[in-house]
Amino acid sequence: MGSSAATIGSAAPDFSINDQYDHPIQLSSYRGKPVLVIYGDRKGSDYMGAWVQAVRPELKAAGVKIIQAANLKAVPGFMQGFVKRKFLGKTANGQPSPPVILDWNGQIASAYGFRDSVTNVYLIDGRGVLKFSASGTGSPEEARPLAEAMKALASAGNTTTRP
């Protein structure tokens, strides 16, 4: 995506985008805890589960909050209502679907860089610094560096500060 993409070690670009329930989700409101933004387009969303499964133990250990986001920039305006309703379903146990950011204009893609047709992941620490970014299908090889980045966050969070 070129030079506009956020760089590792720099402040993660903030965003406030509505989810499918019209509630704004603002990245900076999660300061104090690490966040994993899992972001995909229509094809890329197929791999979100694989990424989460591959790093589940590290997610828990590091106390990482997951934010799911959908890159819907390719959806024509007249289809947006139909697409939005697709996100309003229920889970297998009858609960409302978890919040998903509906990124109609590709704001996150512009700020962070984006690869089409795969899941894109962005790990942000509790101070709001981008620690890791990758894209792919969530294979063990692709997910291992994300797991390592989360382990580093967990151990950094558990160290006591010296005087």
pLDDT-based confidence at residue 158 (cuts at 50, 70, 90): low
Instruction: Please check whether residue 37 lies inside any domain of the structure.
Output: yes
pTM score: 0.92
Instruction: Please check whether residue 92 lies inside any domain of the structure.
Output: yes
In the chain, the number of structural domains is 1
pLDDT tens-digit readout, 78-100 = 999 999 999 998 888 999 999 99
Is residue 44 exposed (0-12), middle (13-18) or buried (19+ Cβ within 10 Å)?
A: buried
Instruction: Please check whether residue 139 lies inside any domain of the structure.
Output: yes
pLDDT tens-digit readout, 20-63 = 999 999 999 999 999 999 999 999 999 999 999 999 999 999 99
Instruction: Please check whether residue 89 lies inside any domain of the structure.
Output: yes
Residue 75: which CATH number? 3.40.30.10
Is residue 51 within 8 A of residue 143, CB to CB? The reply is: yes
Cα→Cα distances 69→18, 154, 157, 160, 162, Å: 10, 24, 26, 34, 38
Instruction: Please check whether residue 112 lies inside any domain of the structure.
Output: yes
Instruction: Please check whether residue 8 lies inside any domain of the structure.
Output: no
Instruction: Please check whether residue 85 lies inside any domain of the structure.
Output: yes
Instruction: Please check whether residue 4 lies inside any domain of the structure.
Output: no
Is residue 68 exposed (0-12), middle (13-18) or buried (19+ Cβ within 10 Å)?
A: buried
Domain of 45, in residue numbers: 14-156
